[in-house]
Amino acid sequence: MDVEVPLLTVQIISLMFFLLGFFGLTAVIGLLKKRRWGVWATITVSILTIIFDIWGLTIQYTAAMGFIVPFISLIYFYFKRSQLMVELQ
């Protein structure tokens, strides 16, 4: 990191990476199985990732890179929402 970060902050960052990764993997499984909850889980994880990265910007500016994939996912689901809800169980 660019700046010295307290141990508690590093632990919070590590825990958030783990949780977002776990729930993201769960969301992907739901998407692959074509479940409606997979879409909602992906949307939720994307929003939480953006919130986490906003906080991360206060520590390191490269956290802005974390906005890209969640933002693209949200835009995709926004434009495909009616089609997805019909196709998914």
For the cut 80, the answer to whether the pLDDT of residue 63 exceeds it is: yes
d(CA 77, CA 70): 11
- Distance, C-alpha 79 to centroid of its chain: 18
Q: What is the pLDDT of residue 43?
A: 94
Domain extent at residue 14: 7-87
3-state DSSP call for residue 27?
helix
Q: What is the pLDDT of residue 61?
A: 83
Based on the structure, what is the number of domains in the chain? 1
Q: Is residue 2 domain-resident?
A: no
Mean pLDDT of the chain: 89
Mean pLDDT of 6-28: 93
What's the predicted TM-score (pTM) here?
A: 0.83
Q: Is residue 1 domain-resident?
A: no
Q: How would residue 89 be classed by pLDDT, with cut points 50, 70 and 90? A: low
